[in-house]
Amino acid sequence: MARIGRWALWLGAALLLLVAALFAWHLYGARPRLTGEVRAPGLAASVAIARDAAGVPTITAASRADAAYALGYLHAQERFFEMDGLRRVAAGELSQLFGAATVYADRAVLAHRFRARARGIVARMAPAERALLDRYVAGVNRGLGDLSATPFEYALLRAEPAPWRAEDTVLAVFAMYLNLQPSLPKTELFRARAARRGGRAFADLLYPSATPLDAPIDGSRLSLPPLPARFAPQAAPGVPAPGPEPAVPGSNNWAVAGRLSSSGGALVANDMHLGIRVPGMWYRARIVVRGEGGPLDITGVTLPGTPTVVAGSNGHIAWGFTNSYIDTADAIVVEPAHGRPGWYRTARGDQPIRRVAQPFCVKTACRTVSVEETIWGPIVAVDAFGRRIAMRWTAHARDAVKLASFVAMERARSVGEAIAIAHSAALPQQNLMVGDRDGHIGWTVMGQVPARFGYDGRDAVSLADGRRGWRGMLPPQAIPTVIDPADGRLWTANARVVGGAAYARLGDGGYDTGARALRIRERLFAADRFTPRDFLSIQLDTTSLRNRWWQQRLLAELRARTGDARLSAMAAPVAAWDGRAETGSVGYRLIAAFRQAALADAYARYMGGTPGWQANYLIPASEGALRRLLTEQPAHLVPPGRHDWRGFVDAALLRVATDVEEAGGLDVFSWGAASPAAVRHPLARNVPGLGWLTDPADRALPGDSGVVRAQAPGFGASERFAVSPGHEGEGLFHMPSGQSGNPVSPYYLAGHRDWEDGRATPFLPGPAKWRMRLVP
């Protein structure tokens, strides 16, 4: 028996060594080529690639198409697993790779049939656009094929990567639609539930358009709706404890005119707030084209899976984005046709609901799922009134993705030219901030804007009688635009940017509060001259205007309750809070916990309990509604199940006190203890020990979702830059997670610590450390 036991141990050890060796082979075999000459069939001319110490390439080519081939080659060598994830997210095909763990995510997007839409977009592309895409696809597949082993993730998942196709690039852009916009008309569904419980006035109260901190660039103000006269719902059953506030995709950007910058040209800043993991969202690159179409020298971030620069500077203009949160989708009530099951009413007469069979696979087990479609879009939900809801969304437009828009932006030479390109573009709708080397600055919405008539898009509506609808998309002259404001300053931060008729045309798709925008405005008007380092200082600002009100409210409530030692002990750190979201602050965490406890409890009770995720019924504007209620304290609007407003606050305070006790006391109840960076590889949670290899050391970082330095676990600035076009050598850049997706790459996680520390690093790539050449 002893001999058998020894053999078993030896066999087990041998198997472990074999597995380790196989894994190591995948790691080292999937390292990117860094030097030498690589045969690249499909190129028209050779392409030089020089990487700096951080792995940032400078691609020098004779044509933009050849540069696209080279970029595709690099994307595949460094980031193919990420690219694969993007196309699968949009197509509802994650479960083919990950199995049952992603079934819910896939089912949530199948109704949108993005793979079929992507195929249609590719089929309708103009020849030049398709030629560039095909060259990129060829580069991707050549880069994937040149790896000696498949990326290590496929070994762990026991899968093989599928070749890249042209439609997959369009799917990568659709994945950004899903990242930046909801795949359900959530706010309309929330408002329907609120109206069901308390009437339209109650829905207007809980989901307002105005917030106390709005800071639009035109200085406009929106009025608050009147309080509802009556509200008497039943008590809310099963209200859960509040969970962490979800991080909402957002961004900051701003610009100052040349007369306010150290260079004399416009100065532009951008930091796009998204989920942070390894590998990161973006891939940095400099692209130099010396022939076809005239010279091009552009530096910025690219999205692996797509062939162009997303945001950056080309020597003539610099540009960046924030998610616009304009209203790009509507909830359409599907009215059943009288006496005709399976049919519905439209302005053109009754129509049959179209049923489309969608293939759906979990690993290799495949079946079909039926998707129901109307002339407006897929049926995606049933609202609180029992009505079937179809979703009309700009992402469903025949031309929802135009790669030509990005290609044109790369070559724009002025603010006016960039604005014109933005108005013909098709992408997830963004606030474009652009400045040029002559000192001009501009803002507009880039992407398609619905031209509604007969309604404002805030509530679910029927289009059956033809009195409401979309007249296509807004023409360029109707899209709000601001160029060269008198004060020389522009800013956006996912909040409302304009008011009046311009606001009415754009609609409200869930704007953020103006807290970040207001702080950016304060900083921009506090000086008359700016350098890139000054802009970096603003990007790292942790002042929380949002929580100043909550500090005063919490302090007053604590001082009014002297009989509870736990609450009395909280008063000192709350009073001492310095107004910033810093890691060592106990006061900030207490204030944030009180705010979140009050919000989650109020909305769960108002809306009749939360089925699942605790923050399910919250939108950014919810905070303003609760601040108003706590200030006015109308007796008839006390959240159901609470005796009065004091009892409501008591419950929130008790929740905070319990959190403090569970954390180990006030001494350890710091903001940093609640806000680790938590930058993880997507497989690290399920593969023991993988995080040791792939993930950066966890650190608590300053910032919060409501401050300019947006930060939350697994969320934050996916890049930061500040640059003046024509003066890129003076610009600054940060990016978390680095360039490479391979943990044994020589520059894995390069730049990540600079991003964490806010250390100024150059916008342009550094001196070449590795050189290679692609030859036809």
Nearest residue to 525 via CA among 491, 484, 552: 491
Binding residues for Ca(2+): 188, 327, 330
pLDDT at 648: 97
Q: How far is CA 416 from CA 147, 726, 735, in A?
A: 44, 17, 29
User: Among 236-250, 424-438, 541-555, 708-722, whose mean pLDDT is lowest?
Assistant: 236-250
Q: Class of 18-42+63-180 per CATH? A: mainly alpha
Dihedral class, residue 372 (left if φ above 0, else alpha if ψ from -120 to 50, else beta): beta
Q: What percent of the chain has pLDDT over 70?
A: 94
> In this structure, are strands 283-289 and 57-61 parallel, antiparallel, or unpaired?
parallel
**CA–CA distance, 85 with 181 (Å, rounded to integer):** 18
User: For 432-457, what is each residue's pLDDT tens digit?
Assistant: 999 999 999 999 999 999 999 999 99
Q: Residue 578 and residue 597: Cα distance in Å, rounded? A: 22
Which is more confident, 15 or 582? 582
Residues in a beta bridge with 193: none
Q: Which residue has the higher pLDDT, 297 or 23?
A: 297
Tens of pLDDT, residues 595-635 = 999 998 999 899 886 544 344 688 899 999 999 999 999 99
- Find, among 503, 497, 552, the residue nearest to 521 by Cα: 497
**pLDDT at residue 614, rounded to an integer:** 42
What mean pLDDT do residues 336-345 have? 96
Mean pLDDT of 324-347: 97
For residue 613, the model assigns a pLDDT of 38
Residue 612 confidence (pLDDT) = 42
pLDDT > 80? residue 155: yes
Quick one: pLDDT band at residue 246, thresholds 50, 70, 90?
low
Q: Is the pLDDT score of 242 beyond 80?
A: no
Whether residue 536 contacts residue 760, with contact meaning beta carbons closer than 8 Å, is answered with yes
- 562 phi and psi angles, rounded to 5 deg: -85, -10
Per-domain boundaries in the chain: 18-42+63-180, 186-243+545-578+584-674
What pLDDT shows up at residue 293? 77
Catalytic residue among 63, 209, 251, 622: 251
Residue 15 has pLDDT above 60, yes or no: no
Residue 422: how many other CB atoms lie within 10 Å: 27
Say yes or no to pLDDT of 240 above 60: no
Beta strand pairing status for 36-39 and 770-775?
parallel
Closest CA to 618 of 182, 187, 323: 187
Q: Is the confidence at residue 131, as pLDDT, over 90?
A: yes
- Residue 250: per-residue pLDDT: 82
The encoded tokens of residue 727 equal 């003066």
Tell me what pLDDT residue 608 has: 84
- Residue pair 474/449 in contact (Cβ under 8 Å)? The answer is yes
- Average pLDDT of the segment spanning 29-38: 94
Contact 441, 488 (CB under 8 A): yes
239: confidence class by pLDDT, cuts 50, 70, 90: low
Average pLDDT score over residue span 62-66? 97
Query: Pairing between strand 250-256 and 267-275?
Result: antiparallel
- What integer is the mean pLDDT of 716-728? 98
Residue 13 has pLDDT above 60, yes or no: no
Question: What is the per-residue pLDDT for 232?
Answer: 73
pLDDT digits (tens, 9 = 90+) for 182-211: 999 999 999 999 999 999 999 999 999 998
Q: For the segment 362-415, what is each residue's pLDDT rounded down to a tens digit?
A: 999 999 999 999 999 999 999 999 999 999 999 999 999 999 999 999 999 999
CA atoms within 13 A on the CB side of 675: 29
Angle between helices 166-180 and 64-91 (to 10 degrees): 60
Give residue 112's pLDDT: 98
Please tell me the predicted confidence (pLDDT) of residue 616.
67
624-671 residue pLDDT tens? 999 999 999 999 999 999 999 999 999 999 999 999 999 999 999 999
Write out the DSSP string of 274-319. EE-BSS-S-EEEEEEE-STTS-EEEEEEE-TTSSSEEEEE-SSEEE
251 as an active site residue: the answer is yes
Residue 581: phi and psi, rounded to 5, are -90, 80
Query: Could you count the other beta carbons within 10 Å of the beta carbon of residue 229?
Result: 10
Q: Which residues contact 2 (CB under 8 A, 6 or more apart)?
A: none
| Angle formed at CA 377 by CA 111 and CA 179, multiple of 5 degrees | 55
Q: Quick one: what percent of the chain has pLDDT higher than 90?
A: 88
Mean pLDDT rounded to a whole number for the chain: 94
CB 379 within 8 Å of CB 344: no
Contact present, 545 and 739 (Cβ < 8 Å): no
